[in-house]
Amino acid sequence: MYPGREEVGQRSETVRRANLSAIVRELHLRGPLSRSELVARTGLTRSAIRALVGELVAGELVAEEAAVRLGTPGRPSPLVRLVPDGAVVLALEIAIDSLAVAVVGAGGVVHELERVDRPRGHLSLDEVVADLVELAALARSRRPAGEMPIRVAVAVAAIVSRADGLVRFAPNLGWVDVPLGARLAEALALPVPVEVDNESDLGALAEFRRGAARGADDVLYVHGEVGVGGGIIVDGRPLDGIGGYGGEIGHMPVNPDGRSCRCGSTGCWETEVGEGALLTRAGYALDGGREAIDQVLADAAAGRPAALAALDSVGRWLGIGLAGLVNILNPRRVVLGGLFSRIHPFVVDRMDLTLDHYALAAPRRLVSVVPSTLGVDAPLLGAAEMAFEPLLDDPAAWLGPRGALVQLESA
Amino acid sequence: MYPGREEVGQRSETVRRANLSAIVRELHLRGPLSRSELVARTGLTRSAIRALVGELVAGELVAEEAAVRLGTPGRPSPLVRLVPDGAVVLALEIAIDSLAVAVVGAGGVVHELERVDRPRGHLSLDEVVADLVELAALARSRRPAGEMPIRVAVAVAAIVSRADGLVRFAPNLGWVDVPLGARLAEALALPVPVEVDNESDLGALAEFRRGAARGADDVLYVHGEVGVGGGIIVDGRPLDGIGGYGGEIGHMPVNPDGRSCRCGSTGCWETEVGEGALLTRAGYALDGGREAIDQVLADAAAGRPAALAALDSVGRWLGIGLAGLVNILNPRRVVLGGLFSRIHPFVVDRMDLTLDHYALAAPRRLVSVVPSTLGVDAPLLGAAEMAFEPLLDDPAAWLGPRGALVQLESA
DNA sequence: ACCGGTTTGTGTTCCTCTCTTGCAAATGCC
DNA sequence: GGCATTTGCAAGAGAGGAACACAAACCGGT
C-alpha cells in the first residue's frame, strides 16, 4: 500500500532478488535459522529455499551446518547461518567525547571495536579524519590480511545531508558545510562507498535492530549529549525527511519564551533537557564535560537537593517533550540513549507522570519508554547496520561468479 | 531497503500482481497514459504491458482509445484510461460543521458530492449515522441502478483506531469509544467493508495525491477547526503509528505553562492556534462557530486592531508549532487546511518570520508552507483515496472472470 | 531393548506462470 | 519514399510450485 516512489515493473529476476534478500535479512536480524524455519518465515517452498540457500552457500555468504537436534520429531533440518567473515563492514563514529571504529561481520558480529577519548572542543576536519583513519587501520590490522569491508559508514553528532555526505552543522565540532564523507573516503583509500549519517538516526536503527526497541515497528530514539538528537523509525523504516534532516527533535520549541539555543532559536527542547540545562540547574559549570555529569549523578545518589532538583526538572521537561512526540508519532517504544540513559533511574518517575499529563491517553497507553541497551555504542552499531543495507537488499550483487565475494558495479 | 514487516517470499503471481498494481496506480494518479508511456514508466516491455493492459480491459477496469496524434513521429500509441464507472467508492465525512458524502470513480473522478450543514454540539451516534445514510442514499440515487461501490470510507474529526473503526475520542461530537465503523456498515447495509480514519490523515492523503502537496513525498497537513489535527506522509506513506493515532499534532505542548486543553493536558498547540484561541483573542464569544470566524476575518480585512492582533498571535504560534514539526519531520511541503487555509493571507507573513527564527536552517530551506487547494473537501476526497487503495494494490482481485467487476473474498 | 508407526524434512523432476527477446508489420511525420 | 516509433506474435528463459520418493528422528507398545 501507498508506495513511495514510482513503482517500477517487476520481472523474474526481481523475484529472485527479493527472495535472496528476504533470506539474508532474516539471518542477519534473527541469527541462524534452520531451513525449515526459513520455509515458514518466507512462505516459499522447500525447493525454492533449497536453491536459494544453495546459491548463497556457493557464494560463501552463508554456511549450512549439521542439523541440531532439539527434541522435535522428524528429520533434522540443517542450520543456515551467515558466515561472520563472509561480509564485513567498517563503522566509524565521531561523538562528542570520543571517536570509535568497529569491524562488524554479517549477522551483527562485532569483530573489532576501538573507542578512544576525544577532547571536547573544535577540531579541524583534517585532524578528526586522520584520527579515524589511524583507528581504522589499527582495527583492520587485527583482521585477516586482505579483508575488504563491503562498505564504510560514519555516525557523526551533527546535522548531515545523507545524499552527499556533507556535514551541514556540527556545533560541537565547529563544522559548517564540511565534506566529511568525501574526505574520509579519500583518506581511507578503500574502494568502497563511505556513507555519513546522524548519530541519533543510527542509534535508532541499532536499538531497533538489536537493542531495546527490537520487535517494535514504530520507534523513537532520543539521544542526550550536549545537544539532543532523535532518530525515528516509522513502520520499520527510518524517517529521513526530504533532505535527510529528519529527527531533529532537540530543536522542537517547548518553551518559546525560554532560553536561547545555540541553533539560533529560542526555547528548544535541548535548552531544557540537554547537558547544559542539567549542569546549570545543579549549580555546576557548563564546561565540565562528562566529569561534571558524573558529579551530578553522584550528588543525586547521595541525596543532595540541588542535583535532585535539577534532575527533577530535566525529568519534567523530558516528559513534556516526549508527550508531544508521542502524540505526533504514536510510537511503540521510546528509547533513551546517551545522557538520558544514564540519568534514567533518577528521572523516570517524574518523566512518566509528566507524560501521563501531557500526552493523549490512547497513544500514551501504547508506548513504553525504556533506556538504551546498547549504550554508547548504539550509533556505531547503527552505522554498521546501515552499511549492511546494500548487502541485505541485494545479496546477489555481492556473490562472485565462482564463490568469491566481490562487489559488482551497480547503478 | 528497511522493509517494515516480515518480508514474505515472492512468486510469479506476486510479480503479475505488482505489475497490474503499478499500471492501475499510475493511471489513477496521473490520468490517462499511452501504452508507450506505461512502458517507460514501469520499465516493462511492450509485450508485458500489452498483456497486462489487455487483462484490465477485459475486466472493464480500463479502456483503450484510439491513439492521439501529438505531432510525434512513429505509430501512435493507444491511450489507456481508467473507466470512471468501472470502480467507484463511497466516501463520507463527519466534520464539525457539516456532513458530506461523495461517490468517486477510479482516477479520482467525483461523480456526486453532497455536503449539508450540521449544527455544532453533541449528537448521538444514531443521529449522525442516520443522516449519513440518508445522504448516501441521495447521492447513490443519482447513479446508475445497481452500482455498488467497492468500498466505503469515512473521515471523522476524532481520534480513531483504524484497525477496528472505533472512534476513541471526539470531543466535538461528545463521543468516547464509539463503534462508528461497525454501526455505519450495519446501517448502510452494503456488502463492502467500511473504513474509518481521522479527517486530518485523510486530508493529508488527498492533498498529497491531488492537491497542494502533489509530487512531494514528505508532507505535513495541518487542519485547523475547533481543534487542530495533522496528517503526515513520510516517503509517500501515511504515518499511522502503532495504534493509528499518529499525527495528533494539535496536542503537542508548545507552552507547558499555558492554558489547559480539553484533552486534559496543558499548553497544547491547539490552545494557541485553534478556533478558540483566535476568537478569544479577538474578543468574541467562543460559541460563535463559523459566523464568528467570518466576523474576525471581516474585521481583519477592515483593519480592526483586535482582529489583526489576534491573527498575528495565531500566526506566531503557527510558526512556532510548525518549526518544531519541520525540525522533526523535515517535510517538503506543509499544507494548511480548514481554518488555517482561510486565515492564511492574514497570518502568512508572521508565520514565515516565526518559522525562520524557530526552525533549523537546513530543513527550513527545503520546506514550503502553502494553503490547501482542495479546501473543505480534502478529508472527503482523502477518504475516497483510502477507499481505492485495495483496488490499486491488487487490481486482479477486482477483475471478474468474465469481465464483470466483482469483489473476491480476500484474507 | 527393540521395532514399527508417525512426523517432519530433504532431493528431484516436471509443470506453470510471467516476463523478455526477436522479427515482421503497421502507422504517421518529414 | 525514408525513418522513427510502436504494435503484434511466437518462441524462449527464469523462477518458484507441486508431487513423489525417501530419510531421519521421536513415540509408544511389547
Q: With CB atoms and an 8 Å threshold, state whether B5 touches A236.
A: yes
Our CA angle for B314, B318, B321, nearest 5°, is 135
Using a CB–CB cutoff of 8 Å, tell me whether A169 touches chain B.
yes
List, as one string, the DSSP characters of A173-237. Answer: TTEEEE-HHHHHHHHHT-SS-EEEEEHHHHHHHHHHHHSTTTT-SSEEEEEESSSEEEEEEETTE
Whole-number Å distance between alpha carbons of B23 and B61: 11
Residue showing cell 549477522 = A107
Q: What φ, ψ does residue B335 adopt, rounded to 5°?
A: -110, 125
Which nucleotide has its C1' atom closest to residue A54's CA?
Answer: C11
Using a CB–CB cutoff of 8 Å, tell me whether B201 touches chain A.
no
Q: Which pLDDT score is estimated for B316?
A: 97
Tens of pLDDT, residue by residue over A26-39, are 999 999 998 888 88
Using a CB–CB cutoff of 8 Å, tell me whether B242 touches chain A.
yes
- A320 chain-B contacts, CB cut-off 8 A: 253, 256
Highest mean predicted confidence (pLDDT) among B47-61, B186-200, B391-405: B186-200
The integer distance in angstroms from the CA atom of B12 to the C1' atom of C17 is 6
Short-list B325, B376, B344, CA closest to B199: B376
Q: With CB atoms and an 8 Å threshold, state whether B327 touches A249.
A: yes
The integer distance in angstroms from the CA atom of A400 to the C1' atom of C9 is 30
Q: HSE (CB half, 13 Å, CA atoms) of A188?
A: 31
pLDDT at B401 exceeding the cut of 50:
no
Q: Which pLDDT score is estimated for B72?
A: 67
The integer distance in angstroms from the CA atom of A53 to the C1' atom of C9 is 15
Q: Which pLDDT score is estimated for A3?
A: 47
- Average pLDDT across chain B, whole number: 90
Interface of B with A in 248-267 (CB under 8 A): 248-249, 251-256, 263-266
Mean pLDDT of B216-229: 95
pLDDT at B218 exceeding the cut of 70:
yes
Chain A residue with minimal CA distance to B264?
A: A357
Chain B residue with minimal CA distance to A360?
A: B263
Q: With CB atoms and an 8 Å threshold, state whether A361 touches B169.
A: yes
Q: With CB atoms and an 8 Å threshold, state whether A10 touches B9.
A: no
Q: Sheet with B33-34: list strands edge to edge.
A: B33-34, B79-82, B62-65
Tens of pLDDT, residue by residue over A256-265, are 999 999 999 9
Using a CB–CB cutoff of 8 Å, tell me whether B397 touches chain A.
no
In this structure, are residues B61 and B400 in contact, taking their beta carbons and an 8 Å threshold?
no
pLDDT at B251 exceeding the cut of 50:
yes
The ranges assigned to domains in chain A are: 12-82, 88-201+378-398, 212-373
Tens of pLDDT, residue by residue over B62-110, are 998 876 665 666 677 788 999 999 899 999 999 998 999 999 999 999 9
Tens of pLDDT, residue by residue over A323-352, are 999 999 999 999 999 999 999 999 999 999
Whole-number Å distance between alpha carbons of B87 and A266: 52
- A204 chain-B contacts, CB cut-off 8 A: none
Nucleotides in C strand less than 7 A from protein CB? 5-13, 16-22, 25-30
Our CA angle for A32, A37, A41, nearest 5°, is 105
Q: Which of A5, A7, A41, A167 to mutate to test the interface with B (most CBs of B within 10 A)?
A: A7
| Count of residues making up chain A | 411
Q: With CB atoms and an 8 Å threshold, state whether A328 touches B248.
A: yes
Using a CB–CB cutoff of 8 Å, tell me whether A12 touches chain B.
yes
Whole-number Å distance between alpha carbons of A261 and A250: 10
Q: Report the CATH architecture of A88-201+378-398.
A: 2-Layer Sandwich (3.30)
Q: What φ, ψ does residue B6 adopt, rounded to 5°?
A: -50, 120
Confidence at A284, pLDDT banded by 50, 70, 90: confident
The CATH class given to the A12-82 domain equals mainly alpha
Between A379 and B399, the higher pLDDT residue: A379
- B331 chain-A contacts, CB cut-off 8 A: 241-242
- B323 chain-A contacts, CB cut-off 8 A: 251-253, 265
Confidence at A90, pLDDT banded by 50, 70, 90: very high
- Give Cα separations from B209 to A2, B149, B202, B237 (angstroms): 10, 20, 10, 11
Give the gap in angstroms from C-alpha A134 to the nearest C-alpha of chain B: 32
Q: What 3-state class would DSSP assign to A59?
A: coil
What residue type is assigned to position B402 of the chain?
R
Chain B residue with minimal CA distance to A30?
A: B6
Tens of pLDDT, residue by residue over A264-283, are 999 999 999 999 999 999 99
| Count of residues making up chain B | 411
| Bridge-based pairing state of the strands B333-338 and A79-82 | unpaired
Domain B88-201+378-393 falls in which CATH fold? Nucleotidyltransferase; domain 5 (3.30.420)
The integer distance in angstroms from the CA atom of B145 to the C1' atom of C22 is 49
Contacts of B166 (CB under 8 A, 6+ apart): B160, B177, B178, B179, B180, B181, B196
Q: With CB atoms and an 8 Å threshold, state whether B249 touches A328.
A: yes
Burial of A335 (0-12, 13-18, 19+ CB in 10 A): buried
Q: Which pLDDT score is estimated for B121?
A: 80
- The string over A157-169, giving b where at least 16 C-beta atoms fall within 10 Å of a residue's C-beta and e elsewhere, is bbbbbbeebbbbb
Whole-number Å distance between alpha carbons of B14 and A7: 14
Whole-number Å distance between alpha carbons of B339 and A178: 42
pLDDT at B178 exceeding the cut of 50:
yes
The integer distance in angstroms from the CA atom of A77 to the C1' atom of C10 is 8
| Bridge-based pairing state of the strands A62-65 and A79-82 | antiparallel
In this structure, are residues A231 and A247 in contact, taking their beta carbons and an 8 Å threshold?
yes
Tens of pLDDT, residue by residue over A50-74, are 999 988 988 889 998 876 655 666 6
First-to-final CA distance of chain A? 26
Short-list B38, B236, B240, CA closest to A5: B236
Q: Which of A8, A10, A39, A177 to mutate to test the interface with B (most CBs of B within 10 A)?
A: A10
In this structure, are residues A402 and A408 in contact, taking their beta carbons and an 8 Å threshold?
no
Residues lining strand C at under 7 Å (Cβ) are A 9-12, 34-36, 39, 46-47, 50, 72-78; B 12-13, 15-16, 19, 43-48, 51-52, 67, 69, 71-76
Whole-number Å distance between alpha carbons of A173 and A157: 8
- A18 chain-B contacts, CB cut-off 8 A: 7, 9-10
Verify if strand D has an atom below 7 Å from the CB of B47.
Answer: yes
- Domain B88-201+378-393 and domain B215-373, same fold? Reply is yes
Size of interface A-B (CB pairs under 8 A): 265
Q: Which pLDDT score is estimated for B12?
A: 84
Residue showing cell 456488502 = B191
Query: Lowest mean pLDDT: which of A109-113, A183-187, B33-37, B390-394?
Result: B33-37
Q: Which of B35, B259, B328 to mutate to test the interface with A (most CBs of A within 10 A)?
A: B328
pLDDT at A4 exceeding the cut of 70:
no
In this structure, are residues A220 and A207 in contact, taking their beta carbons and an 8 Å threshold?
no
Q: With CB atoms and an 8 Å threshold, state whether A242 touches B217.
A: yes
Whole-number Å distance between alpha carbons of A250 and A243: 17
Using a CB–CB cutoff of 8 Å, tell me whether B133 touches chain A.
no
| Bridge-based pairing state of the strands A228-234 and A175-178 | unpaired
Residue showing cell 482561510 = B342
The minimal CB distance from B265 to the residues A159, A238, A358 is found for A358
Cell of B158: 476524532
Q: With CB atoms and an 8 Å threshold, state whether A256 touches B255.
A: yes
Q: What 3-state class would DSSP assign to A292?
A: helix
Cell of A40: 515458514
The CATH class given to the A212-373 domain equals alpha beta
Using a CB–CB cutoff of 8 Å, tell me whether A352 touches chain B.
no
Short-list B247, B248, B204, B250, CA closest to B226: B250
Q: What 3-state class would DSSP assign to A253?
A: strand
Q: Which pLDDT score is estimated for B393?
A: 92
Chain A residue with minimal CA distance to B46?
A: A9
The minimal CB distance from A362 to the residues B245, B367, B393 is found for B245
Q: Which pLDDT score is estimated for A72?
A: 67
Whole-number Å distance between alpha carbons of B403 and B55: 9
What residue type is assigned to position A38 of the chain?
L
pLDDT at B5 exceeding the cut of 50:
no
pLDDT at A410 exceeding the cut of 80:
no
The minimal CB distance from A247 to the residues B244, B328, B332 is found for B328
pLDDT at A11 exceeding the cut of 90:
no
* Cross-strand pairs, B139: none
Query: Lowest mean pLDDT: which of A254-258, B57-61, B152-156, B215-219?
Result: B57-61
Whole-number Å distance between alpha carbons of B264 and A362: 13
CATH of B215-373, one of 3.40.710.10, 3.30.530.20, 3.90.25.10, 3.30.420.40: 3.30.420.40
Q: With CB atoms and an 8 Å threshold, state whether B330 touches A246.
A: yes
